[in-house]
Amino acid sequence: MGLIVQKYGGTSVGSIERIRRVAERIAAYQQAGHELVVVVSAMGKSTDTLVELAKQIAVYPSERELDMLLTTGEQVSIALLAITLQQIGIDAVSLTGWQAGIRTEPIHGRARVKEVDNRRIRAELAKGRVVIVAGFQGVTDEGEITTLGRGGSDTSAVVLAASLQAERCEIYTDVAGVYTADPRVVPSAQKLASISYDEMLELASLGAGVLHPRSVEAAKKYRVKLIVRSSFTDEEGTYIKEDAEMETGRVVSGVAHDEHVAKITVNGLPASGGALSKLFHTLASAQVNVDIIIQGSVAGELTNVSFTVSTDDLPKALEVLKANQAALRFTQVEHETGLSKVSIVGAGMINNPGVAAEMFRQLAEQEISIRMVSTSDIKVSCVIPAEQTTLAVRTLHTAFGLDVPEQAVVHGQ
């Protein structure tokens, strides 16, 4: 029996009763002979509560102090889980991210992991203990506490699994695996037995909340065997694998959506190539992630450029643009909210021309307005009005044959 890294999300440890269930599952694994490192998120919605407390004091709290505040949520859950395991006779120890040796870059709120010094974890495992690690957090070389961004506990689990050369990494959540669409939006969505790293990375990046994109990126890079399962049942989950291991003829594997999209248009930007570079470098330096980019027509020496950001990043993006308007030499900035992004993803799209055209046809038939489009080898994304999201997702899910056969319905009729 080998070493397994398990990760339990906030819903899985949302109450003392649920923590007890998690402890029983962990005990069964240890009694079967496995070594265990368990990564835990904050209980339930406690992170949201902490953010709200900070924002009652300041609209834009200090990023350093916000990290100090938010990391306390995971400390509560790891200690409670360790105590619960000890009460049922399992020797366990809880470690914060920095005690576990998770070293990050010096950025607050969205830090990336640089390395893992696993000596403390190895020492605790050698004592026969279950090691409980706080997800979502780490420490810089200067000793500053950092967080990895929302969903960062997934990344914590994967980098620990890579560092420890674990047999596999199991991500436990409130759903039974990865579905062809969000089951809350598409009741006929199917659970996938397996999906490739690349497809999962696209789905995660495009709004499928079951895994954090950086965790999939790390799993692909370090060849970590990844499984998504429910913490509430013993049902088989979804395996994330190499493309070469996949046995499927699917053209489209899933439909993802993101309802937190805002569009920004910068008007009157100098048409020279250097202006675009300066614009997006300025946004990147402020840690604003830009998604779809479309440059408008050039009128004389000026051009317009539109791009999308997360609605969470919109206030910061507008503030940064306003502060740098003179340096960037644009005339005006506009923004639009009330948008969403709907995407189809599938490795089979590479060898099947016409998939994008079919997507556009299906949306047009439902009179769904397409504002922006982005494509790659294995995905097509459309920005649409947010109120049409459910109709778009259901229409595409049916059109590309993803409905469970006995539950298949015609949407939008």
pLDDT band at 249 (very low <50, low <70, confident <90, very high): low
Category of 252 on φ-ψ map: left (φ > 0), alpha (ψ -120 to 50) or beta: beta
Q: Is the pTM of this model over 0.95?
A: no
The class (CATH top level) of 340-403 is alpha beta
Phi, psi of 145 (to 5 degrees): -75, 135
Check pLDDT > 50 for residue 410.
no
Q: Which helix (H) or strand (E) holds 29?
A: helix 16-31
Q: In which band, very low, low, confident or very high, does the pLDDT at 287 lie, cut at 50, 70 and 90?
A: confident
pLDDT at 406: 58
Q: Tell whether the model's pLDDT for residue 248 goes beyond 80.
A: no
CB atoms within 10 A of CB 120: 15
pLDDT value at position 242?
81
263-335 shares the fold of 3-174: no
The counts of H helices and E strands in the chain are 12, 18
Q: Would the pLDDT of 412 be above 50?
A: no
* Tokens standing for residue 56: 């009652």
Q: With 90 as the cut, is the pLDDT of residue 115 above it? A: yes
Report yes or no: 104 and 148 within 8 Å, Cβ to Cβ. yes
- How much is the mean pLDDT over the chain? 92
Confidence check: pLDDT of 300 > 70: yes
Asked if 402 contacts 180 with a C-beta cutoff of 8 angstroms, the reply is yes
Among the ranges given (180-184, 273-277, 315-319, 354-358), the one the predictor scored with the smallest mean pLDDT? 273-277
* Per-residue pLDDT reduced to its tens digit, 331-377: 999 999 999 999 999 988 887 888 999 999 999 999 999 999 999 88
Distance CA 379, CA 262 (A): 20
Of 247 and 204, more confident: 204
Output the six-digit token pair for 293: 């980019």
β-strands 226-230, 168-173 pairing: parallel
Residues 6 or more apart whose Cβ sits within 8 Å of residue 371? 263, 339, 382, 383, 384, 385
pLDDT of residue 400: 94
Above 90 in pLDDT, residue 207?
no
Whether 181 and 254 have beta carbons less than 8 Å apart is answered as yes
Average pLDDT, integer, range 260-273 = 91
- What homologous superfamily is domain 3-174 in, according to CATH? Acetylglutamate kinase-like (3.40.1160.10)
State the angle between helix axes of 63-87 and 46-55 in degrees (0 to 180), rounded to the nearest 10.
Answer: 150
- 326 pLDDT higher than 80: yes
Which of 70-84, 123-137, 198-212 has the least mean pLDDT? 198-212
For residue 333, list its beta bridge partners: 266
Q: Which two tokens stand for residue 188?
A: 């006929």
- Is pLDDT of 407 > 50? no
Q: What angle do CA 253, 255, 256 make, to 5 degrees?
A: 125
CB contact set of 3 (below 8 Å; sequence gap of 6+): 34, 35, 36, 37, 125, 164, 165, 166, 167
Element (H, E) at 264: strand 254-270
Q: Class assignment of domain 263-335?
A: alpha beta
Looking at per-residue pLDDT, the higher value among 35 and 242 belongs to 35
Residue 172's SS3 state is: strand
Flag the least confident range among 105-119, 122-136, 244-258, 297-311. Answer: 244-258
The DSSP annotation for 353-400 comes to TTHHHHHHHHHHHTTPPP-EEEEETTEEEEEEEGGGHHHHHHHHHHHT
Q: What is the pLDDT confidence band of residue 408, given thresholds at 50, 70 and 90? A: very low
Contact between 178 and 228 (Cβ < 8 Å): yes
Percent share of the chain, pLDDT over 90: 82
Q: What is the pLDDT of residue 294?
A: 93
Domain layout of the chain by residue ranges: 3-174, 263-335, 340-403
Q: Which of 254-268, 293-307, 358-372, 386-400 has the lowest mean pLDDT?
A: 293-307
